[in-house]
Every structure is written in structure tokens, then in C-alpha cells.
Structure 1
Amino acid sequence: MRNYELAFIISPNIDDEGATNVVEKVSDFVKAIDGEVASVDVWGRRTLAYPINNHREGTYVRLETKMPPGSLDDLERNLKLSEDVIRYLLINMDS
């Protein structure tokens, strides 16, 4: 298991309650691929530095996780297919 930091931006079309549900779905998916969520940090709704898919703001979320390296493709595929997540970044914290 390696330590990863996952940061993602939730679409501004999602309200605060919906954003909480999106965070829970992502956390549940990490657990489903034999990962652990060490911490969840919701930064809240912020203005984006540049438009992403014609959105000018979004809800920023950061997760610290432990996951097996072979499961990253499944997580990235899930995030790409999610219409609620407009951008994500996954960083290996062990290197």
C-alpha cells in the first residue's frame, strides 16, 4: 500500500449536500478497491484560476489515502466518468 493525495474539483452545479454525497462516493470507491481514506479535507467553493468546461468555480476536496498501486487505473477511470468531478489530481506521496 502506498500513500496518495487525491485532489478533485466538484462541479458548481452540485449543491453542498450533493458535494458531500460526491465525497462519500469517492471515499467508498477508494475503500472498494482495498484502499483506506486517512483524511478528508473539503476546502469549499472557490473561484477557478481559469474556466474548466465553462465553469468558473467549483468545490475543492483533498483526500489522503492508502491504496495498492494496481488499483489506480480503476480510480482514475471512475473519476473521469463522473459528471460531478470536473478535474482531479492524484499524487504519490511516497516518492
Structure 2
Amino acid sequence: MRKYETIFILHPSLDEEAVNAAVDKFKGVIENAGGVVENVDLWGKRKLAYEIEKVNEGYYTLVNFSAEPQLPKELDRLFRINDSVIRHIIVKDEK
């Protein structure tokens, strides 16, 4: 298994309950595919570096996990089809 790191930004119109549900959903995807979630860091609502579709803020979340190489592709697909995710990135941790 390889180590990965993902940061995703959720839409600011979501309430705390919806943000936690979305984070739990993505954690569940990782765990159900045989991955191991090592760390979840909720950064909270922050200002974006630039406006995205007339949105200036978002809920930032950092997740460190270990998984097989095909899992990031599936996670990327799920991030893309979820309307509450504004931006995301998944990188392989080289440490």
C-alpha cells in the first residue's frame, strides 16, 4: 500500500452537519476499498485564493491515508461528481 494525501474544499453553503457527513462519506470510501485513514484534519471555513464560480470561501479538509494505487482514481471520480466539492487534489506522499 502507498501513502496518499488529499485536500478537498466543500461549498460554504453547507452546514456543519453536512460537512461532517461529506467527510465521513469520503473516509468510508477509503476504508471500504481496503485503505487506511491515518489522519483527518478539518481546517474549517477559509477564504479561497481566488473566486471559483462566484464563491469566495470553502470548508477545507486534509486527509492522509494508505491505499492501493487504484483507489485514488476512484476517489477522484467521486470528488468530481459530488456537487458539494469545489476543488480537490490527491497526491502521493513521498516521505
TM-score normalised by structure 1 residue count:
0.94
Cα deviation per residue 1:71-92 (whole Å; 9 max; x = unaligned)?
2211110110011111001110
Counterpart in the other structure of 1:5? 5
Q: Does the 8 A contact of 1:4 with 1:92 survive in 2? A: yes
Alignment of 1:1-95 (within 5 A): 1-94=1-94
Cα deviation per residue 1:16-65 (whole Å; 9 max; x = unaligned)?
11111110001001112211100100000001010112210000000000
CA RMSD of aligned residues (A): 1.1
AA of the residue aligned to 1:25: K
AA of the residue aligned to 1:11: H
Unaligned regions of 5+ residues in structure 2, if any?
none
Q: Equivalents in 1 of 2:32, 2:78: separation in Å?
A: 12
TM-score normalised by structure 2 residue count:
0.94
